[in-house]
Chain A
Amino acid sequence: AQSVTQLDSQVPVFEEAPVELRCNYSSSVSVYLFWYVQYPNQGLQLLLKYLSGSTLVKGINGFEAEFNKSQTSFHLRKPSVHISDTAEYFCAVSPSNSGNTPLVFGKGTRLSVIA
């Protein structure tokens, strides 16, 4: 079975500063990894995903994430945040060898961008 740990429940950061949201996963098989964003009173929106190949993945809104197999991590980064990035961020994992296993989500990280 897979599991996901988001190491920070809340991350406050000043506008235009860089940010990193941390995600570690556990799995005995190869995985697909995802980051989702949830704005207030909305559903989740896919930011980016890692399936295979290049370990640096670029997503929407200037976000990127790096897959590190040895550290079982998939941290999300943005070099300069905006007020509009204030939201909840969820890391998720699924085994790559099964299309019928639901995604496992982390508990989420609340990013608060301060003007």
Chain B
Amino acid sequence: EADIYQTPRYLVIGTGKKITLECSQTMGHDKMYWYQQDPGMELHLIHYSYGVNSTEKGDLSSESTVSRIRTEHFPLTLESARPSHTSQYLCASSEFSGVGYTFGSGTRLTVV
């Protein structure tokens, strides 16, 4: 079944640690996105990619980085986690804008 997978689902980590949030999709979509969702529900676009070796920063300034070496894989890395990074991170992919996005289940990150 075609889908989009995020791991881990939950992560508690200490300040200063380096972490990578994984996102993979099996649908062959060129477009992939990372959103940060705050406790008040609002979604903020932090990174997106339109294909291999293509990455762009989104509307919300973020200290994270992304890479897109393979079509199916779009990991997000925090070099040094801080409590302000505590949030839910949602990954999504799309074939083209008229179809809409398919979302993963999210990673809930807590930095202590």
Q: Which residue of B lies closest to A98 (CB)?
A: B97
Is A107 part of the contact surface with B, judged by Cβ < 8 Å? yes
Q: Given A90-B43, A108-B42, verify A42-B98 contact (CB < 8 Å).
A: no
- Near A by CB (< 8 A), chain B positions 65-107 give 90, 92, 96-98, 100-106
Residue numbers of A with Cβ under 8 A of B are 32, 34, 36, 38, 41-46, 49, 51, 88, 90, 92, 94-96, 98-103, 105, 107-108, 110
B interface residues, how many (CB within 8 angstroms): 24
The 7 closest A-B pairs by CB, nearest first: A43-B103, A108-B41, A44-B103, A94-B97, A99-B96, A105-B43, A107-B42
How many Å lie between the Cα of A58 and that of B34 in the bound state? Answer: 28
- The residues of A that contact B98 with a CB separation of less than 8 Å are 32, 49, 51, 96, 99
Residue numbers of B with Cβ under 8 A of A are 6, 31, 33, 40-43, 45, 48, 50, 58, 90, 92, 96-98, 100-106, 108
How many Å lie between the Cα of A45 and that of B50 in the bound state? Answer: 21
Shortest distance between the CB of A83 and any CB in chain B (Å):
20
Tell which of B97, B100, B105 touches A42, judged by Cβ atoms closer than 8 Å. Answer: B105
Shortest distance between the CB of B23 and any CB in chain A (Å):
11
Query: Are the C-beta atoms of B106 and A46 separated by less than 8 Å?
Result: no
Q: Given A102-B33, A102-B45, verify A44-B101 contact (CB < 8 Å).
A: yes
Query: Are the C-beta atoms of A103 and B101 separated by less than 8 Å?
Result: yes
